[in-house]
Chain A
Amino acid sequence: MSNLLGLRRLVIGMSVHRPVRRLSTMSPPFSPILSVQPTRALVDEKLKVVVENLPPGSPVTLHSLHHSEDEDYWEAYGHYVSDFRGIVSVAEDLSFGGTYTGKEDMGLLWSMRPVPGSRKGLRLRKMNICSPLLFNISVYSGHVTEGFREETPLTSALIERWYMAPGVKRIDIRERGVRGTLFIPPGPGPFPGLLDMWGGGGGLIEYRSALLASHGYVSLAMDYFRSQELESAELEFKYFETAFNIIKEHPQVNPDRVGIFGLSLGSLVTMHVAAESTIVKPRCCICVSGSHFYPHDRTLKEVIMEPMTNSHRVRVDENNHHIWRDLWKELLSDPSKKVDVGKINCPILLVNGQDDQNAPADECAEDIAHLMNAAGNGHLLTRVLYPDTGHLIEPPYSPHCRASNFRVAAVAEKTVTLLWGGQTKPHSDAQEDSWKKILSFLQQNLYSSTSPRAKL
């Protein structure tokens, strides 16, 4: 468009969407400055990663490295190009390649995977939560895809990610037959409480409880696979009630505000206790990746053992990974094999993934809704279902695990590789979103002074 003088303004500018060709090679005296904030954070806090003082338009790789407690190496990386100021900001810029692409402020954590050559079927879990997870964040020149350990980065930083906030107390619990760890937030209290249960892998897994305590909940992580000592289902049920009461009776806990949180097999326990217990009255329940099939006359261990011993009935995928989701589908139509969810009288949040290959969580959630509506307590139910998300819906930014080695606690016989499901990016989004919803649900039901019947 010309002006009066017949002159047209030239537009010389950079097209934002075309990658810029590097105008110079990276050489001294450039000292790129990497800043990662915060350097010490809780595992569910966001990171801000910025690199400055780079040559403009220069390709760099941002890399994260973690050496796990099991001695494996995990890594993630993104390919970036610095802008005209010589800056890369992970929160604002696009990754053009690597273990994640696009604008992903936390991609350097959730897209981590074992380095090439690692053992198979690994899962990243922190067992000692009194120390942080350490990550090395580095900047490499150019777009690198392998051999990171053999190359010297331009600069790097070390960050700590904690499950425990400062001041959270950790107490071993060995009483009345219950084995677990109690986490107490700092401060006088009284606090709401949570009984926290993981799945069939057993053991004493503390990290989620530690994190929940860091958010203000007295949390008891329970090891409920008691190996040979436990004989009957009835005795087993009593231990859950006892564990709940241990929390309720704690001097720093508000006895009217104790909930139950379960994942996988733990969800099963949660629903069963909420429905059947005459002693225990949870204020609210959270069930992640759970089903509602309860063996009224068998122990939990027997339940989990069944597919292990009858493995010929188990479907496998192309990698020979076990798919367990179909195993209990026939139970859906048999009311005697299910938890009587119509008897639950507290708010309950179900969190599931549509690509759960371990449990038929999707169908179960549907059936639970159907049963609760029929019983007249459907208003207590909140369901969230995430697309392309698998079974292991963990606290945010932990690497997605699509399949891993699984061994039932105290059963030395067999290890199988179970397919959990999920695609990394949607699963990671689900972990981030579900955690927010979980914290909000807990806040609403355990902290708020409004009616406990309120839905999320």
Chain B
Amino acid sequence: MDMKQSIVKLLVQPSRGLVDEKFIVLVQKARPGFQLTVHALHKCEIGHSWEAFGHYISNAIGTVNVSEDPSLGGTYSGVEQMGLLWSLRPVPGSKPGLRLRKTNVQTPMEVTISVYQGHQTEGFMDQVPLASALVERWYMAPGVRRIPITEDGLTATLFLPPGPGPFPGLLDLWGGEGKLLEYRAALLASYGIASLGLDYLTPKITMETGKLMDTQYFETAYRVLEQHPQVLSSRIGMLGLSLGASMTLKMAVYSQVIKLKCAVCISGSHVQPIDGSLQQFLNFCRKNAGKRCINKDNEMIIRGLLLPIPTDPTLKVDVGQLKCPLLLVLGDDDQNWPAQESALDMKQMMERAGNSHLLTVLLYPNAGHLIEPPYTPHLRASPFNSVQADEEVMALWGGEMVAHSRAQEDAWRKTLDFLRENLFSGTNPAKQLKRHQLIDPVENLEGWMCKKHDKLLELFCEKNQVCVCVF
């Protein structure tokens, strides 16, 4: 084929987007009925290459639209608008168990989308594509400000949305590996929430003194938000994943200082010694280490650690005392933490206590433990170095790729809705008025209303010249 005569055009829109935004990948000017591979390549911050690809056949006018056409094979199949991102996997030859996480959120994730001739499955780097485009995926929207927080012994980063504020606030916590991961907090700030990413396991002060932090540390972080001139002190929420969820539940119920407007727990459990410190929790986990098991692939299933769900009330957070809305996000194939059993137990506790109206549970079939922002590649197992652990293990997170990716997308949208509902609305007359059709202000509105049923009258009797109630 003479390349010079038929130049394939590739368009990806938006070429610069937030990581949770969908994009359209359009191939045009190919020959009709032609076999093409659409390929994504990403080189991560630590230098590993990740790729994804789909096999397509161009239509009668030589077009492939990834949002509408089915992939016939590759790392994903079927009509999958975002498959090129969520099915990314380390290129052949990479070491096993790699995890894709952005540490520098001030630069975008760059993905090269290319079109190759034919249905290819390997050797992409040795070929010249027909066309390619570069796409930027950002965790930070323009104008979001990143502010490292080191006062009062904290190791944290605050992300402020653009604009005058004041903004609702959020404490953002990750899991048992520690470190300060900023990307989710940066993304939440891009949606108008002043978010504080907090390192509570390996902050500078712990690394220097060897002492784990505790409730006071979280309360200090909360105060930073509460007292910030651009944060609405009465609208602060908390979001935690895995061990972060355990901390969130503990603070929500027991802290005298932290007053949450709402809480989100992803892949979390309420099981923990409630009178104890964080150190004691880790000791409790260490004590039960024998309940973990290893599967035939040498992957460690940790969920047994907290099972069975204790009946002893000192070993689980009394969610019956919760006073704010709680959103639980979990997968039924979570092999790391007994999120499903915990959710069931929490629901029963709240029903008994009479506050179950505060609870929303999102349980995703075949989703695993690491429910991340959308289009993050699914990871079934990876090396896990939990703080104070004796050794690094290959932890099994669980989940099946397609179902897990769907779960991430849906959970994120619902999490944003939940946060908006609870942190932005408050008493919002607009919501009640949604059912009510607006009319010109009228005099004598009483004449239009039925006094008994307090509803607008709809029928008028011509004969008697009076409104009639039919309710």
How long is the Cα–Cα vector from A14 to B437 in the complex, in angstroms?
7
- Cross-chain contact A449 with B6 (CB below 8 angstroms): yes
- Cross-chain contact A156 with B163 (CB below 8 angstroms): yes
- Cross-chain contact B3 with A8 (CB below 8 angstroms): no
B4 to chain A: which residues have CB within 8 Å?
Answer: 190, 254, 256
Given contacts A7-B460, A33-B424, A38-B17, contact A187 B163 (CB under 8 A): no
Binds B, one of A23-31, A266-274, A300-308, A334-342: A23-31
- Cross-chain contact B16 with A41 (CB below 8 angstroms): yes
B119: Cβ under 8 A from any A Cβ: no
B129: Cβ under 8 A from any A Cβ: yes
- Interface residue from A14, A155, A157, A187 paired with B439 (Cβ < 8 Å): A14
- 8 Å CB contacts to A: which residues of B416-471? 420, 424-430, 433-434, 436-441, 448, 456-463, 467-468
Per-residue interface assignment for chain B, residues 346 to 389, with 1 indicating a CB less than 8 Å from any chain A CB and 0 otherwise = 00000000000000000000000000000000000000000000
- 8 Å CB contacts to B: which residues of A1-23? 2, 5-10, 12-15, 18, 20-21, 23
A447: Cβ under 8 A from any B Cβ: yes
Shortest beta-carbon distance from B428 to chain A in Å: 7
- Cross-chain contact B441 with A157 (CB below 8 angstroms): no
Given contacts A6-B461, A14-B438, A53-B425, contact A190 B430 (CB under 8 A): no
A8 to chain B: which residues have CB within 8 Å?
Answer: 459-460, 462
- Interface residue from A55, A187, A447 paired with B29 (Cβ < 8 Å): A447
- Cross-chain contact B16 with A162 (CB below 8 angstroms): yes
How long is the Cα–Cα vector from A10 to B448 in the complex, in angstroms?
10
Q: Which residue of A lies closest to B16 (CB)?
A: A40
A21, A138, A166 interface centre (most CB from chain B within 10 Å): A166
- 8 Å CB contacts to A: which residues of B80-117? 110, 112, 114
Per-residue interface assignment for chain B, residues 4 to 31, with 1 indicating a CB less than 8 Å from any chain A CB and 0 otherwise = 1111011001111110010000000100
- Cross-chain contact A53 with B430 (CB below 8 angstroms): yes
A262: Cβ under 8 A from any B Cβ: no
A152: Cβ under 8 A from any B Cβ: yes
How long is the Cα–Cα vector from A252 to B110 in the complex, in angstroms?
23
- Cross-chain contact B430 with A56 (CB below 8 angstroms): yes
How long is the Cα–Cα vector from A24 to B232 in the complex, in angstroms?
23
- Interface residue from A7, A191, A192 paired with B459 (Cβ < 8 Å): A7
A134: Cβ under 8 A from any B Cβ: yes
Q: Which residue of A lies closest to B463 (CB)?
A: A6
A295: Cβ under 8 A from any B Cβ: no
B141: Cβ under 8 A from any A Cβ: yes
- Cross-chain contact A39 with B430 (CB below 8 angstroms): no
Given contacts A40-B142, A41-B16, A84-B434, contact A156 B162 (CB under 8 A): yes
Per-residue interface assignment for chain B, residues 215 to 255, with 1 indicating a CB less than 8 Å from any chain A CB and 0 otherwise = 00000000000000000100000000000000000000000
Given contacts A6-B461, A29-B427, A447-B9, contact A15 B133 (CB under 8 A): no
How long is the Cα–Cα vector from A447 to B15 in the complex, in angstroms?
21
- Cross-chain contact A38 with B16 (CB below 8 angstroms): yes
A144: Cβ under 8 A from any B Cβ: no
Given contacts A84-B433, A166-B110, A166-B136, contact A38 B460 (CB under 8 A): no
A279: Cβ under 8 A from any B Cβ: no
- Interface residue from A23, A39, A192 paired with B441 (Cβ < 8 Å): A23
A37 to chain B: which residues have CB within 8 Å?
Answer: 21
A85 to chain B: which residues have CB within 8 Å?
Answer: 430, 434
B456 to chain A: which residues have CB within 8 Å?
Answer: 12
- Cross-chain contact A158 with B162 (CB below 8 angstroms): yes
Interface residue count for B (Cβ, 8 Å)? 65
- Cross-chain contact B163 with A7 (CB below 8 angstroms): no
B74: Cβ under 8 A from any A Cβ: no
A188: Cβ under 8 A from any B Cβ: yes
How long is the Cα–Cα vector from A188 to B132 in the complex, in angstroms?
7
- Cross-chain contact A166 with B15 (CB below 8 angstroms): yes
B403: Cβ under 8 A from any A Cβ: no
B6 to chain A: which residues have CB within 8 Å?
Answer: 449
A216: Cβ under 8 A from any B Cβ: yes
B54: Cβ under 8 A from any A Cβ: no
- Interface residue from A20, A31, A192 paired with B424 (Cβ < 8 Å): A31
- Interface residue from B128, B142, B460, B467 paired with A159 (Cβ < 8 Å): B142
B162 to chain A: which residues have CB within 8 Å?
Answer: 136, 156-158
B338: Cβ under 8 A from any A Cβ: no
- Interface residue from A33, A55, A186, A447 paired with B7 (Cβ < 8 Å): A447
A426 to chain B: which residues have CB within 8 Å?
Answer: none
A121: Cβ under 8 A from any B Cβ: no
B33: Cβ under 8 A from any A Cβ: no
A114 to chain B: which residues have CB within 8 Å?
Answer: none
Q: Which residue of A lies closest to B111 (CB)?
A: A166
B56 to chain A: which residues have CB within 8 Å?
Answer: none
A191 to chain B: which residues have CB within 8 Å?
Answer: 7
- Cross-chain contact A86 with B430 (CB below 8 angstroms): yes
- Interface residue from A9, A24, A40, A449 paired with B429 (Cβ < 8 Å): A24
Given contacts A157-B163, A449-B6, contact A186 B461 (CB under 8 A): no
- Cross-chain contact B134 with A186 (CB below 8 angstroms): yes
How long is the Cα–Cα vector from A7 to B465 in the complex, in angstroms?
10
How long is the Cα–Cα vector from A25 to B325 in the complex, in angstroms?
29
Q: Which residue of A lies closest to B427 (CB)?
A: A29
How long is the Cα–Cα vector from A144 to B121 in the complex, in angstroms?
59
B134 to chain A: which residues have CB within 8 Å?
Answer: 165-167, 186
How long is the Cα–Cα vector from A291 to B284 in the complex, in angstroms?
85
How long is the Cα–Cα vector from A314 to B390 in the complex, in angstroms?
88
B123: Cβ under 8 A from any A Cβ: no
A57: Cβ under 8 A from any B Cβ: yes
Shortest beta-carbon distance from B463 to chain A in Å: 5
- Interface residue from A84, A155, A160, A254 paired with B437 (Cβ < 8 Å): A84
How long is the Cα–Cα vector from A31 to B426 in the complex, in angstroms?
9
- Cross-chain contact B5 with A449 (CB below 8 angstroms): yes
Given contacts A53-B428, A56-B430, contact A190 B7 (CB under 8 A): yes
B192: Cβ under 8 A from any A Cβ: yes
B47: Cβ under 8 A from any A Cβ: no
A155 to chain B: which residues have CB within 8 Å?
Answer: 163-164, 192
- Interface residue from A10, A14, A34, A45 paired with B458 (Cβ < 8 Å): A10
B203 to chain A: which residues have CB within 8 Å?
Answer: none
B131: Cβ under 8 A from any A Cβ: yes
Q: Which residue of A lies closest to B165 (CB)?
A: A155
Given contacts A2-B462, A190-B7, contact A29 B428 (CB under 8 A): yes
B53: Cβ under 8 A from any A Cβ: no
- Interface residue from A40, A45, A84 paired with B438 (Cβ < 8 Å): A84
B437 to chain A: which residues have CB within 8 Å?
Answer: 12-14, 84
B135: Cβ under 8 A from any A Cβ: yes
- Cross-chain contact B462 with A39 (CB below 8 angstroms): no
How long is the Cα–Cα vector from A152 to B18 in the complex, in angstroms?
27
- Interface residue from B16, B133, B439 paired with A12 (Cβ < 8 Å): B439
How long is the Cα–Cα vector from A8 to B461 in the complex, in angstroms?
6
Per-residue interface assignment for chain B, residues 127 to 165, with 1 indicating a CB less than 8 Å from any chain A CB and 0 otherwise = 011111111101001110000000000000000001110
Shortest beta-carbon distance from A57 to chain B in Å: 6
- 8 Å CB contacts to B: which residues of A207-224? 216
Shortest beta-carbon distance from A103 to chain B in Å: 20
B168: Cβ under 8 A from any A Cβ: yes
Given contacts A9-B459, A33-B424, A190-B3, contact A54 B142 (CB under 8 A): no
Can you name 9 A-B residue pairings with CB atoms under 8 Å?
A: A14-B440, A31-B168, A40-B17, A53-B424, A53-B430, A84-B434, A136-B143, A187-B129, A254-B7
Shortest beta-carbon contacts, A-B, top 6: A158-B143, A167-B134, A40-B16, A29-B426, A86-B430, A156-B163
- A: residues with CB less than 8 A from B are 2, 5-10, 12-15, 18, 20-21, 23-24, 29-31, 33-34, 37-42, 45, 53-57, 84-86, 134, 136, 138, 152-153, 155-160, 162, 165-167, 186-188, 190-192, 216, 254, 256, 447-449
* 20 additional contacts (CB under 8 A) given A7-B468, A10-B459, A53-B425: A2-B462, A10-B460, A29-B428, A30-B428, A30-B430, A34-B163, A39-B18, A39-B141, A39-B142, A40-B136, A45-B13, A53-B430, A55-B430, A136-B143, A158-B162, A167-B133, A190-B3, A190-B4, A191-B7, A216-B9
